[in-house]
Amino acid sequence: MAESEEFLFMEKCKGVNGIDKIVLRQGRGISVEIYLYGAHVTSWKNDGEELLFMSSKTNFKPPKPIRGGIPICFPQFSDMGNLDKHGFARNKFWSIDDDPPSFPAMPSHKAFVDLILKPSGEDLRIWPHSYEFRLRIILGPGGDLMFTSRIKNTNTDGKPFSFKFAFHTYFSVSDISEVRVEGLETLDYLDNLKNRDHYTEQGDSIMFESEIDKIYLDTPSKIAIIDHGQKKTLVLKKEGLPDAVVWNPWEKKAKSLVDFGDDEYKTMLCVEAAAIEKSIVLKPGEEWQGKMDLMVNFSSYSSGYLDPKSAVL
């Protein structure tokens, strides 16, 4: 292929308000957009169809976080600490890591980017720890979206640090009343709407008819979001992230969020791969790794998606 015709698997460009953006592409309507502000994925398309929810009211104005897509919560989750809600990683400008230490990549993984976040002098006053947070985002040839998150303690004062973490994914759904989530039934959870008290989920797959904000504990490595309205199933696979948050603000809370449309709760669902209940603790020199893969299948049949023998995965 002539150089001028070369397919661009990765492109750097400008997004809303001139913020640097990376686009990963695989052809056939398969693409991902990532803002360097927050290392925030704002779009994931397969077959031309958008799979992530973005609020029509988000304004892409730092230091406010972007509402929708995939924000990263680090080193704090929610208000479980003294930092700003969900920590600072989603409000920082990340850099492209042009010289990432090598770690396994499949030869077929041509659409990828390595990002890095390190603290500035001012950041160290807010959270007095040195770290290197490396994030590799890969768009597979079939449209799978894969994240590897690596956080290293680079403190020179000999001190460990601890943190919580979440990939706060906002999935786009056709109609929240037509959606069910499989993989979380019968699990223990902390209910954010009830003082984070401990409960056990009953019954079958999770369905939605009111506000939900739960931290499921020790969850399986695969969770399926089955959208009957759109005949699609989104599968979330994870490693190193034992917990899973499920959030939908529903009508009343949606109205109280300035960057969220009043009716938009009907077309989104957050299912967040996370490490919350037990903080991760790293000594100087130690590194933690957490992975999340997202896949879509355009059919909403059965619960066979979580069967290890299923052809889907």
Active-site residue flag, 272: yes
Which amino acid is located at 59 in the chain? N
Q: Does 270 bind ligand G6P (CB under 6 A)?
A: yes
SS3 275: strand
Residue 274: CB minimum distance to ligand G6P, A: 9
Among 206, 245, 282, 296, binds ligand G6P (CB under 6 A): 245
Site residues for ligand G6P, 85-114, by CB under 6 A, read 85-86
Q: Does 213 bind ligand G6P (CB under 6 A)?
A: yes
Residue with the CB atom nearest ligand G6P in the bound state: 247
Catalytic option among 33, 168, 182, 277: 168
CA distance 257 to 254: 5
Which amino acid is located at 236 in the chain? L
CA distance 239 to 198: 24
CA distance 152 to 135: 12
Alpha helices in the chain (DSSP H): 121-126, 250-256
Site residues for ligand G6P, 43-72, by CB under 6 A, read 65
Binding piece for ligand G6P, criterion CB under 6 A, among 78-86, 106-114, 142-150, 282-290: 78-86
Catalytic option among 33, 182, 272, 277: 272
Among 247, 268, 276, 296, binds ligand G6P (CB under 6 A): 247
Q: Which bin fits 296, alpha (ψ -120 to 50), beta or left (φ > 0)?
A: beta
Active-site residue flag, 287: no
CA distance 275 to 87: 14
Binding site for ligand G6P (CB under 6 A): 65, 78, 85-86, 192, 213, 245, 247, 270
Tell me the catalytic residues.
Answer: 168, 272
